[in-house]
Every structure is written in C-alpha cells, then in structure tokens.
Amino acid sequence: MAKGEKKPAEQSNQFLKIIRDWQKLEDETIKFSDDMLKKTKNPLIKMTMEMIKHDSQKHKVMQQMLIDSVTKQALILSPDDLNNLGDGLNRHMEAEARSVELADEALKNSELFATKYVLSYLIADEQKHHNLLSKLEDLKKATVFVT
C-alpha cells in the first residue's frame, strides 16, 4: 500500500471481531441442525436441517477466508484471472439463468406446500449462482478494475 493511503475498513479490529463472532455462531447452528436431525425422520425437515448444516459449514470456510485475507494474505482479483476463463463464465451464467427460468416455471405449476417449499429454496439458490457469476462478468467489462 502506498504511503499516506487510508487503510481499508477490513483492517480494523472491529471487522475481524464481527467475522469471528459470526463464525462461532456457525458452530451453534451446526449443533442445532444436528440436534434436530436426531429428533426427526421427516424427509422435509431433514432436508432443511441438512441444507442449513452444509451452508453453515460452507460459511465457516468463507469466513475463514475473509479472516485470512486480513491477517495473512490479501485477496485479489485481476482482469487476467477472469479473462483466462474465456467464455466459460458467460456460458455458465446463461445456464444458471435458464435454471432460474425452469425453477420459476416448476413453481408456477405446483400447489403443494412441500413442493413449493423446496422449489423456493432452489430458486433462491439458482438466483444466487447467477448473481455471483454476473458480478464477475460485470467486473470484466468495468474500465476501472476494483478489488
């Protein structure tokens, strides 16, 4: 970092504390999910708890990546990192967009609580995938590359 440049907010102790507190909470949600999994044989409840458990495990890894980016090595993304992916990113994004369409269509053609419950989870996930990829694709087009 150049002399006189302001440190990013992530370098503050407050940022690290928030992420660390949050990461500890993930252990609790994993434990709650496990407790509930032991108490039920219902496939829908089981699916819900399994999904939350897996997500929490995933969150812990991602939070650790953020902590490491402050305490060890900063995370960077260069135009080359994205350009090396060729048109793969765009094609993947289109497939995720098509998934959202199909999921929406399935939801329109359903009426049972259980079906709609599962489909709404899937729609949110597919939208999330699409949004993540389109943020990267947008960054490729940006004239000023921000990290």
Q: Which residues bind Fe ion (CB under 5 A)?
A: 56, 59, 96, 126, 129
Whichever of 15 and 32 has its CB closer to Fe ion, that residue is 32
Please give the single-letter amino acid code of residue 25: L
Taking the complex as a whole, how short is the minimal distance between the CB of residue 99 and Fe ion, in angstroms?
Answer: 5
Q: CB-wise, 46 or 129, nearer to Fe ion?
A: 129
CB of 96 to Fe ion, least distance (A): 5
Cα(75)–Cα(1) distance, integer angstroms:
14
Residue with smaller CB distance to Fe ion, 61 or 74: 61
Which residues contact residue 23 at a Cβ distance below 8 angstroms, ignoring those fewer than 6 apart?
59, 60, 63, 64, 67
Let me know how long the chain is.
Answer: 147
DSSP 8-state secondary structure symbol assigned to residue 8 = P
Nearer to Fe ion, 10 or 55 (CB): 55
Q: How far is the CB of 98 from Fe ion (least distance, A)?
A: 10
The phi and psi torsions of 82 (rounded to 5 degrees) equal: -80, -40
How does DSSP classify residue 144?
Answer: S
Q: Does residue 62 contact residue 53 with C-beta atoms inside 8 Å?
A: no
Q: Which residue, chain included where needed, has tokens 């399994």?
A: 50
CB of 85 to Fe ion, least distance (A): 17
Nearer to Fe ion, 116 or 129 (CB): 129
- Smallest distance from the beta carbon of 125 to Fe ion, in angstroms? 6
